[in-house]
Amino acid sequence: MPLILMCGYPCSGKSRRAHELRDHFTENTDRKVHTVGDEELEVDRNSVYADSQSEKNLRGALRSEVERKLNKEDIVILDSLNYIKGYRYELFCLIKHAQTPHCLVYCLTSADLSSEWNKERKEGCQYSQEILDALILRFEAPDSRNRWDSPLFTIQKDDALPFEAISDAIFKRKAPPPNQSTQSQPLSSTNFLYELDKVTQDILMAVLDSQKTSVPGDFIAIPGATERIELTRSLNMAELRKLRRQFISYTKMHPTENIGQIANMFVQYLNKSMH
């Protein structure tokens, strides 16, 4: 059933609004409401958000938990920063595959107000000022013109939540249609697994070879793919193998009938995973 994404600066009131939404839907519908977030995973925010790999692992854990709880009956609220545009797009692909609607609730505050609210928290629950400032600096605000950020509800400090409009958005809207990259299809080619293994291995070797003469910011041309890999950072063999295993595992469960698209799909996957 529907996914509600919370979004905003640290200490912008997201959890308070998430609790209001949970209470409203629990009292006014027969549906179960699941809240997934940093709090539920008992995250030490200052250590996690100080390390890019730890933060990436956290986003992966949150996404997995959302995917596990999505079904045809319940409401899932993701109460986290969700401040990276690419991550919100990944979650949009998730709801497309699940064929369920979603919406985004953006808690809009100033940096000064978030800092003030942070200082009012209990000591063990506060962000350090350095981490708070860094997260605000990296924040990518949602834009309703992007399909993954729409429908968008922007809520300021003294606003009441528009419960009726949010209900309409998640109960009365049709789910976005699945596309080739998200729709489950029957395994129709006996060559599929062979091609999946071969193409992804060839791309791994191409990336490793290209990195010897490339620098971050370069675009790597991949044989058999029309899309190119944007090299935002260096990737070692261990990380590339892990990404390949994850891609193969997902693609085996959701195979494409067009074997020729495997290379482009893997390139897209690598580009998203490198951010």
Q: What is the pLDDT of residue 179?
A: 55
Could you tell me if 135 and 85 are in contact, meaning their C-beta atoms sit under 8 angstroms apart? no
Please state, in angstroms and rounded to a whole number, the distance separating the CA atoms of residues 206 and 223.
8
209-227 residue pLDDT tens: 888 888 888 888 887 888 8
Q: What does the pLDDT read at residue 129?
A: 95
In which residue are the tokens 């609220």 written? 77
pLDDT at 236: 86
Dihedral of the alpha carbons of 256, 95, 156, 44, in degrees to the nearest 10: -90
Q: Who contacts 74 (Cβ-Cβ below 8 Å, separation ≥6)?
A: 1, 31, 32, 33, 34
DSSP H helical ranges for 99-128: 111-119
Question: What pLDDT score was predicted for residue 180?
Answer: 47
**Number of Cβ atoms within 10 Å of the Cβ of 83:** 18
Quote the pTM value. 0.66
What is the model's pLDDT at position 191? 65
- Is the distance from CB of 65 to CB of 151 less than 8 angstroms? no
Query: Exposed/middle/buried for 174, CB within 10 Å: 0-12, 13-18, 19+?
Result: exposed
pLDDT at 226: 84
3-class SS of residue 77: strand
Amino acid, res. 2: P
User: Collapsing DSSP states into helix, strand and coil, what is residue 5?
Assistant: strand
- Residue 34 has what pLDDT? 95
- Alpha carbon distances (Å) from 195 to 125, 170, 250, 255, 256: 49, 39, 15, 12, 12
> How does pLDDT run along the chain (275 residues), one tens digit per residue?
699 999 999 999 999 999 999 999 999 999 999 999 988 888 889 999 999 889 988 998 999 899 889 887 899 999 999 999 989 998 998 888 888 899 999 999 999 999 999 999 998 889 999 999 999 999 999 999 898 999 999 999 999 999 999 999 999 888 877 654 444 444 444 567 778 888 899 899 888 888 888 888 888 888 788 888 888 888 888 888 889 888 888 887 777 667 778 888 889 888 888 76
Alpha helices in 139-236 (DSSP H): 163-171, 192-211
What pLDDT, on the 0 to 100 scale, is given for residue 186? 41
d(CA 153, CA 127): 26
Q: How far is CA 92 from CA 76, 139, 146, in A?
A: 13, 18, 11
Domains of the chain, with CATH numbers? Answer: 3-182 (3.40.50.300), 191-274 (no CATH)
